């Protein structure tokens, strides 16, 4: 692996942005305030921000690569390869593909979740981003419990979330636009979809015990758990008691405060920040951030959102950039137990971004280093020639 030298950028070191140079050796950051030494690859980082790579613990934009239109499928390996390029080109160096395992057939079925997991495992060495499997279990998918327990015990799941969208499904059946979207996604006829929902809802009484068993399996396997769309402090407490220490998209301030008071990680969507509010009409993420009720921003359904959100928060005066960046790098790294990344420090994993911040609210990603490899570069003039060549000669050339 080629050693890399980053010359003279404005680097986020600890809680400060300082002008310094960094060296990378192997997959790690070798030195801060470094000299070039024998590094064969050097990049001019002057006038650029040098930032830790983004960690995305919940991103499902890959679904659009698999099914860009309702009923139009593309091979999983093609979709994942394209999603990897999209993630990297938006500064995401660690990506958890949030894969829904639902009672419905089609895109979000248990069969498709299995195929995705197997494809990620198979293609992982080819990806530029460190790619992991976040399993989003729809709690009414009772028939999948045994298989999911096996996946957990075999170490094939990196994050495990409990989701319950059944009330929303039942409510949306009477909305023609939403109903058509759900039915098209499953590939079922309208009548067959109604019959399926009726069968699934009829087993409601079995759901709590299934959730408890799966939570026990996740604890035994050491897999971190999330609960999705917690509606009340009591709901958050119940999931916390089962070991789910990450509150994902709590839907009101009361629940977010209960999570914060218990020290839970709290996740909101970065698109919410960029757009100025939730597309569902629920909690406004920037308000929660201003109140100290958010520790992680995830890409959710739009890979560019995390990078844009950090700069939006800074421009709006909600947080200084160093704290806003914590929400998309060190914060999600802590929440997922990845202690080797999220900071620029000697011995940490070399996930590094070079960002041109000269245009307000429109940061431009110049280069991405992931696991010590230069995997994205948009400005080749930033490459420096041999170490012995004076800087003035490079500029003159």
- What is the DSSP track for 293-343? --SEEE-BT-TTHHHHHHHHHHHTTSS-HHHHHHTTTHHHHHHTT-TTSSS
What CA–CA distance (Å, rounded) separates 209 from 232? Answer: 20
Calculate the alpha carbon distances from 7 to 144, 145, 161, 305, 368 in Å. Answer: 52, 52, 41, 28, 15
Residue 163 forms beta bridges with which residues?
138
Q: Is the dihedral of CA 17, 18, 19, 22 positive or negative?
A: negative
Q: Domains of the chain, with CATH numbers? A: 4-52+343-396 (2.30.40.10), 54-335 (3.20.20.140)
Least Cα distance to 132 among 105, 89, 92, 172 occurs for 92
pLDDT recorded at residue 390: 43
Mean pLDDT computed over 102-131: 95
| % the chain with pLDDT above 70 | 96
Whether 396 shows a pLDDT value over 70: the answer reads no
pLDDT recorded at residue 395: 41
Whether 70 shows a pLDDT value over 90: the answer reads no
Whether 392 shows a pLDDT value over 70: the answer reads no
| Joined tokens for residue 120 | 């990620």
What CA–CA distance (Å, rounded) separates 386 from 94? Answer: 31
What CA–CA distance (Å, rounded) separates 265 from 298? Answer: 12
383 SS3 class: strand
DSSP 46: T
- Residue 139: alpha-carbon gap to chain centroid: 22
pLDDT recorded at residue 397: 35
Residue 247 forms beta bridges with which residues?
227, 266
**Cβ-contact 33, 1 below 8 angstroms:** no
pLDDT recorded at residue 182: 83
| Joined tokens for residue 335 | 């929440």
Radius of gyration over every alpha carbon of the chain, rounded to an integer in angstroms: 22
Mean pLDDT computed over 275-290: 85
pLDDT recorded at residue 258: 98
| Count of other CB atoms within 10 angstroms of residue 64 | 16
Element (H, E) at 392: helix 391-396
Whether 2 shows a pLDDT value over 90: the answer reads no
pLDDT recorded at residue 280: 67
pLDDT recorded at residue 185: 79
pLDDT recorded at residue 386: 59
**Cβ-contact 55, 336 below 8 angstroms:** yes
| Residues 141-194 pLDDT 10s | 999 999 999 999 999 999 999 999 888 888 778 888 888 888 887 888 988 988
Mean pLDDT computed over every residue of the chain: 93
> Would you call 281 exposed, middle or buried from its count of C-beta atoms within 10 A (0-12, 13-18, 19+)?
exposed
> Would you call 381 exposed, middle or buried from its count of C-beta atoms within 10 A (0-12, 13-18, 19+)?
exposed
Find tokens 């696991």 and name the residue: 371
| Confidence band for 326, pLDDT divided at 50, 70 and 90 | very high
Mean pLDDT computed over 97-110: 92
Q: What are the two backbone dihedrals, phi and then psi, of residue 69, each rounded to the nearest 5 degrees?
A: -135, 155
Question: Cβ contacts of residue 84 below 8 Å, gap of 6+?
Answer: 95, 126, 127, 128, 129, 131
Could you tell me if residue 190 is left (phi over 0), alpha (psi between -120 and 50 degrees) or otherwise beta?
Answer: alpha
pLDDT recorded at residue 12: 98
Question: Cβ contacts of residue 299 below 8 Å, gap of 6+?
Answer: 56, 58, 59, 61, 90, 92, 269, 270, 271, 305, 306
């Amino acid at each position: 692996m080629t050693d890399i030298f980053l010359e003279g950028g404005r680097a986020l070191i600890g809680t400060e942005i300082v002008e310094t140079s960094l060296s990378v050796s192997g997959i790690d950051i070798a030195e801060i305030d470094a000299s070039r030494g024998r590094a064969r690859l050097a990049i001019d980082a002057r006038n650029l921000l040098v930032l830790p790579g983004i960690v995305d613990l919940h991103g499902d934009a890959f679904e659009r690569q698999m099914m860009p239109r309702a009923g139009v499928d593309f091979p999983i390996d093609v979709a994942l390869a394209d999603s990897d390029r999209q993630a990297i080109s938006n500064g995401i160096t660690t990506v958890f593909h949030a894969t829904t395992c639902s009672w419905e057939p089609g895109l979000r079925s248990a069969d498709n979740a299995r195929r995705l997991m197997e494809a990620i495992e198979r293609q992982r060495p080819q990806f530029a981003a460190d790619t992991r499997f976040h399993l989003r279990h729809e709690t009414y998918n009772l028939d999948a419990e045994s298989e999911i327990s096996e996946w957990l015990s075999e170490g094939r799941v990196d994050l495990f979330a409990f989701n319950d969208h059944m009330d929303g499904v039942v409510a949306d059946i009477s909305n023609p636009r939403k109903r058509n979207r759900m039915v098209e996604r499953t590939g079922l006829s309208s009548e067959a979809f109604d019959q399926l929902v009726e069968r699934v809802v009829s087993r409601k009484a079995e759901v709590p015990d299934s959730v408890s068993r799966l939570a026990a399996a996740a604890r035994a396997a050491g897999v971190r758990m999330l609960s999705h769309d917690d509606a009340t402090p009591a709901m958050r407490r119940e999931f916390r008691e089962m070991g789910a220490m990450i509150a994902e998209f709590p839907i009101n301030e009361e629940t977010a405060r209960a999570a914060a008071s218990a020290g839970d990680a709290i996740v909101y969507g970065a698109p919410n920040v960029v757009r100025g509010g939730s597309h569902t009409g629920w909690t406004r993420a920037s308000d929660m951030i201003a109140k100290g009720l958010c520790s992680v921003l995830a890409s959710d359904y739009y890979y560019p959102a995390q990078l844009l959100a950090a700069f939006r928060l800074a421009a709006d005066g909600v947080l200084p950039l160093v704290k806003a960046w914590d929400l998309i790098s060190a914060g999600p790294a802590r929440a997922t137990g990845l202690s080797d990344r999220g900071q620029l420090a000697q011995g940490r994993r070399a996930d590094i971004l070079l960002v041109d911040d000269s245009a307000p609210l429109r940061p431009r990603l110049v280069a991405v280093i992931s696991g010590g490899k230069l995997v994205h570069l948009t400005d080749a003039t930033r490459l420096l020639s041999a170490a012995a060549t004076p800087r003035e000669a490079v500029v003159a050339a």
